[in-house]
Amino acid sequence: MTELNSNIHTVFETINTLFKNNYLSLNFGEKTHCNHFKTRNSQAIDKKIGYNNKLIPSVLSTKFLELTIGSTLSWRRHRDHLTTKKSTACYVIRSIKPLISHETLLLFYNSLFHTVRSYGIIFWGNSCHSIQIFSDAQESN
């Protein structure tokens, strides 16, 4: 464990030196996270990664290019995010259905949900959790 923390610190120092030499900086704000990928049964590793007394927070999931990646790579959190988006899209479409044409409803569906659902599908589409997103019965509500 000590060797792992030492290696992480060394790599982080090297990265920050490279950034500094190229007039770049690492953003320690809301978008920089440490996500330790592990199996469901493995123990969490207590690691502290930082630079100049600024720590990078450890998280159980993070968003990367609009894909929500959990620490166990189960895609459950991404599915939960998409389920919320799907519910919102269904509510909006149900609310405006009597007021607009079928073609306009399709435009709303595509802009509110379909593009979000389709993005990154090559990565998460075969997940056992994806059935809730692709279920036609839920979409027709």
81 CA to centre of own chain:
9
Q: What is the pLDDT of residue 21?
A: 93
Q: Return the ∠ at Cα 54 (arms to 53 and 56), rounded to 5°.
A: 140
In this prediction, residues 87-98 reach a mean pLDDT of 86
Read off the pTM: 0.60
Contacts 24+ apart (CB under 8 A), 79-85: 79/124, 79/127, 79/129, 79/130, 79/132, 79/133, 82/116, 82/117, 82/133, 83/132, 83/133, 85/112, 85/113, 85/116, 85/117
| Residue 50 C-beta-side C-alpha neighbours within 13 Å | 10
State which amino acid sits at residue 102.
H
pLDDT digits (tens, 9 = 90+) for 109-136: 888 777 777 777 777 767 776 676 766 5
Closest CA relative to residue 92, chosen from 73, 113, 74: 113
Q: Is the pLDDT of residue 138 over 50?
A: no
pLDDT digits (tens, 9 = 90+) for 5-62: 778 778 878 888 898 899 987 777 677 777 777 777 777 666 677 666 777 788 888 8
Q: Is the pLDDT of residue 140 over 50?
A: no
Q: What is the pLDDT of residue 22?
A: 93
Q: What is the pLDDT of residue 1?
A: 65
